Structure 1
Amino acid sequence: MKYDSKKIDHIKKWLAKNNIADVEILVSDFAGISRGKVMPTAKFVEGLRSYGHRVPEALFGLGINCDFTYNQFVTEQEVDLFLVPDLQTMRIVPWHETPTACVICDPVKEGGEQTNIAPRQVLKHVVSLYEKKGWMPIVAPEFEFFLLARQETIEREPMPPRGISGKIAWDTGELSITGLEEFKALFSDISRYCRVMGIQIDTLTHEAGPAQFEVNISHGEPIGIADQAFMFKRIVKRVAIQHGMFASFMAKPYPDQYGSAMHMHQSVIDTKSGKNIFADSKGNDTPLFMSFIAGLQEYIPAVMPMLAPYANSYLRICDRFDAPVNTHWGRENRSAGLRVPSGGKSARRVENRIAGADVNPYLAFAASLVAGYIGMVEKLVPDDPTDEPAYKTDRHRLPQHLFSSLDEMEACEPLRKYLGEAFVQTYLDVKREEYMANINALSPWEIRYLMLNV
């Protein structure tokens, strides 16, 4: 996409008004990490006149361990992709001394053809499926994360930081106001940065783990909310460093403590009427709502690599610490993987409680929404809701480790149909390479119990 002179003049005026010296051009990799380049403002503007900003296609074969994976879709030739900035996402980066802006980009091939494997474009494609039906999904994420003490090496076992009281924050507990006050200055900075970057924080709470917190982002259309979530994780990590600690969105940093999730509330509106299609005029559940839930029940096992992307993710999925282990659904039942909160017809929604905080937000939204979409177009019917504790039931169990979830994904033809062969196969290849690198690494357990004992 090339920008006309009017649009370029508008962005030049915005950059000049805010005295912007540098611009970060950003794209999300499979892990949800910001990749891209930083350049002077003049170079950024010049690049808008043509396909002037590039990254190698191999970026989408990059694993969390920074190893590259190649296949027929991401080749060893490492051809260039062209970054098309979405100028609606242009924001000031509040923590840089030099006035800096950032913008989220969509990578395209020469000539403007979509790559179909970039996470943001995968989500855009899923949203387009809804749009063709006259629907628009609405999502709202709830992010859990831990604050950690800074240590000399990242390989050491994690521990909580000290709050303003000077105490190590081991035992504050769920919904603790004192726990929030211990880190009030940090959260004030997070809130301030979020306002600058257009991220609409809804609620902050202390969770059940040591120095574990939850921040809710207000609901909206998936692309915009995923953009906010993408930047939110970056903000939290940056502010934590500024306050002498780390922030972790790892699903299970403490084996004997609660894990961190990214719960997703989802509804769908009719684009003409603006009404929620999950409830009728009398407030009753609609067949489409039931089919959406049924789609989640049927296809979540196949999209688990997008909701639980690492071996560590599956340590969280156990029948302890309030984490779901299956795709049962229930009304106001937090033991189920799929919860329908109470509320009126305009608020009728389902909460997917399965995704970990370690997800890429673009891919997690895409995974959950495509599962619900397939349920609606195939008119699937869910099980009856459960009002019992769902942890001990054997039906609808989730995959117990990453490798089995990758097998589920590979065998699911509807995913290849709706998400595209290029994305599904490349994602599988990258995740299998990551998994093999993980299990081939010498673990602390092996060092402690095997090194000198066997």
Structure 2
Amino acid sequence: MLDHTTTGAPQTDPQTLDLDLAAAGVVGVIITWADNNGIPRSRTVPIEQFTAATQRGLGITPLFAVFDSHDTITFDHPPLGTPSGDIRLFPVTDRVVQLAGQPAFAWAPGRQVAADGSPWPYDQRTALERQVAQAAEIGIELRAGYEIEFHLSAAGDTGDDPRPVYDGPSYGPTKMLAVDAFAEQLLSDLVRNGIPIGQLHGEYGPGQYELNIAPADPVTAADRQLLTRQTIHAAARAHGLRAAFAPLVTSGHVGNGWHLHTSLSRAGANLLSGGDGPAGLTPEGAAYLAGLLRDLPAIVAITAPSLSSLQRLRPGYWSGAYTCWGVENREAALRLVPSTSLLGPRHANVELKPSDAAANPYLALTAVIAAGLAGIEDGLTLPGPVQEDPATWSDQRRAQHGVHRLPTTVEQQLDALQGNPRIRAALGDEIVGAFRAVRTSDANRAADLDPADIIRAYRWLY
């Protein structure tokens, strides 16, 4: 097994990396990216061809940008309106990891470029890199981390409602005992794959589990989110299990949120703590949070975009169905986690609850960062926190506090995205156009499906 600290370091000589991987028994490298549905796509290159792939890339169709959730290619985005053309997929060599659960293979995130090597405007990873660079230009450093919820069932259980591996008290040790061997391998594999996590536990729903990935710079956080999926799927397979990451796996139960946590600092000082604002917010920290709140409908169009996502966003399920923020309020779409004397100032962060596996992680972070930075640039003022469940309020009281239900249809989400110049500019016209096309294709496909059909259609996609 090749040590991840070797493959995780910057590589100036792809041939050396190639030889190291081959010596460790690697026969192929899986190059992975996420499409506009949040679905990982990949190409595997034989190890003998890996050096060539780092130099010339691999040819793929540009139409991956307009694959919908069910692999229909929509031609409703005119710049990608024909089957003609080619782009190149390059492995990001400083992120190569030999997979602990698939030791004959290594893994790397991919970057898409045009056929001549110039930037490809539909590449989501590049959009995030661009946004992080803009933050750095004004002296802002960002950190991000994911909480990943998932359901486990027996691998051969493909019925309408898969039976969870455990259906008993939530959060208890017996829930972990039910998947003891899986959990042992998963924790070991995560370490060997270079993914630091804070904890793993049995969650609220039947057969539901959660782990949280330690915070990192945004691009690393997005890369790790994809690698974590691969790691969980491999560990589940090894123990006769199947992992479902879908926003809603069965009707009537809680869904899977992939809560996105972010923090920002200037000169090493966390701007979400140490100030005179609510829960210690500094003026810039408050403006960042106000920017997220202002653009929340457009952000959620990116972070919870599928029909399954819309089913999950229900009041009373801790999914953040209303446009509000609160201090440690788990019904608020934006939950401020403040610093404490025990945890220290670096702990302060803001959690976006309406976020799930249907979101491309690079686009999700691009939208969040763009909205927050715009809030700082515009000097926005943050309204007071909501510390109750807004679903229990009257319509009049919600209106008085500027609290509204987040969009409940694809059309409403796309209207919010199209009407938001800040998010559109951060993503670029090309990505927004392709994203709109695939969301519309999904909606058209599901026009005659009932809610149970939609749950089944999205259950195993991610």
TM-score of the alignment, normalized to the shorter chain, above 0.5? yes
Partners of 2:327 and 2:335 within 8 A in 1: yes
Deviation at 1:118, TM superposition (A): 2.3
Residue matched to 1:348:
348
Query: Structure 1 stretch 395-404 or stretch 276-285: which is displaced more?
Result: 276-285
Residue matched to 2:458:
none
Alignment deviations for residues 67-119 of structure 1 (CA, whole Å, 9 cap, x no partner) = 1123233241431111222111111123336x221221201113332222222
Distance 1:374 1:148 in 2: 43
Deviation at 1:380, TM superposition (A): 1.6
Task: After TM superposition, list the pairs within 5 Å mapping 1:438-453 onto structure 2.
Answer: 438-441=446-449
Letter paired with 1:21: V
DSSP-derived class of the 2:13 partner: helix
Partners of 1:317 and 1:324 within 8 A in 2: yes
Counterparts in 2 of 1:234 and 1:411: CA distance versus 1, 3 Å: same
Distance 2:194 2:164 in 1: 29
Distance 2:429 2:336 in 1: 32
Query: Structure 1 stretch 105-114 or stretch 294-303: which is displaced more?
Result: 105-114
Letter paired with 1:172: P
Residue matched to 2:63:
58
Deviation at 1:184, TM superposition (A): 1.1
Counterparts in 2 of 1:443 and 1:416: CA distance versus 1, 3 Å: closer
Residue matched to 1:306:
302
Q: Pick from 123, 126, 131: which aligns with 1:118?
A: 123
Distance 1:421 1:392 in 2: 39
Partners of 1:32 and 1:230 within 8 A in 2: no
Residue matched to 1:264:
260
Q: Pick from 264, 268, 278: which aligns with 1:274?
A: 268
Unmatched segments (≥5 aa) in structure 2: 1-10, 455-462
Alignment deviations for residues 325-344 of structure 1 (CA, whole Å, 9 cap, x no partner) = 11211112222111112314
Distance 1:26 1:354 in 2: 25
Letter paired with 1:336: A
Q: Pick from 34, 48, 60: which aligns with 2:40?
A: 34
Letter paired with 2:440: R
Letter paired with 1:439: A
DSSP-derived class of the 1:257 partner: coil
Distance 1:413 1:338 in 2: 21
Deviation at 1:367, TM superposition (A): 2.3
Deviation at 1:142, TM superposition (A): 0.7
Distance 1:104 1:150 in 2: 27
Partners of 1:172 and 1:211 within 8 A in 2: no
Distance 1:18 1:315 in 2: 45
Alignment deviations for residues 24-54 of structure 1 (CA, whole Å, 9 cap, x no partner) = 22222223333232232121212333x2422
Counterparts in 2 of 1:304 and 1:328: CA distance versus 1, 3 Å: same
Residue matched to 2:143:
138
Deviation at 1:429, TM superposition (A): 0.8
Alignment deviations for residues 6-26 of structure 1 (CA, whole Å, 9 cap, x no partner) = 623332342244232222222
Residue matched to 2:406:
398
CA-atom RMSD, angstroms?
2.3
Partners of 1:53 and 1:83 within 8 A in 2: yes
Partners of 1:28 and 1:118 within 8 A in 2: no
Partners of 2:301 and 2:416 within 8 A in 1: no
Task: After TM superposition, list the pairs within 5 Å mapping 1:326-337 onto structure 2.
Answer: 326-337=322-333
Partners of 2:54 and 2:93 within 8 A in 1: no
DSSP-derived class of the 1:262 partner: coil
Query: Structure 1 stretch 54-63 or stretch 379-388: which is displaced more?
Result: 379-388
Q: Does 1:158 align with 2:162?
A: yes
Deviation at 1:444, TM superposition (A): 5.8
Partners of 1:255 and 1:315 within 8 A in 2: no
Query: Structure 1 stretch 281-290 or stretch 128-137: which is displaced more?
Result: 281-290
Alignment deviations for residues 363-408 of structure 1 (CA, whole Å, 9 cap, x no partner) = 2222222221221112222211122233334323211222211121
Residue matched to 1:209:
205
Q: Does 1:100 align with 2:105?
A: yes
Partners of 1:189 and 1:239 within 8 A in 2: yes
Residue matched to 1:226:
222
Unmatched segments (≥5 aa) in structure 1: 162-168, 447-454
Distance 2:319 2:425 in 1: 30
Distance 1:78 1:381 in 2: 49
Distance 1:444 1:269 in 2: 44
Counterparts in 2 of 1:387 and 1:400: CA distance versus 1, 3 Å: same
Distance 1:132 1:409 in 2: 26
Q: Does 1:171 align with 2:137?
A: no
For normalisation by structure 2, the TM-score amounts to 0.87
Alignment deviations for residues 107-141 of structure 1 (CA, whole Å, 9 cap, x no partner) = 11133322222222222222122122121210111
Residue matched to 1:381:
381
Partners of 1:30 and 1:118 within 8 A in 2: no
Letter paired with 1:296: L
Distance 2:19 2:291 in 1: 47
Letter paired with 2:367: A
Letter paired with 1:205: H
Alignment deviations for residues 237-265 of structure 1 (CA, whole Å, 9 cap, x no partner) = 23222222211111112221111111122
Partners of 1:416 and 1:424 within 8 A in 2: yes
Partners of 1:29 and 1:118 within 8 A in 2: no
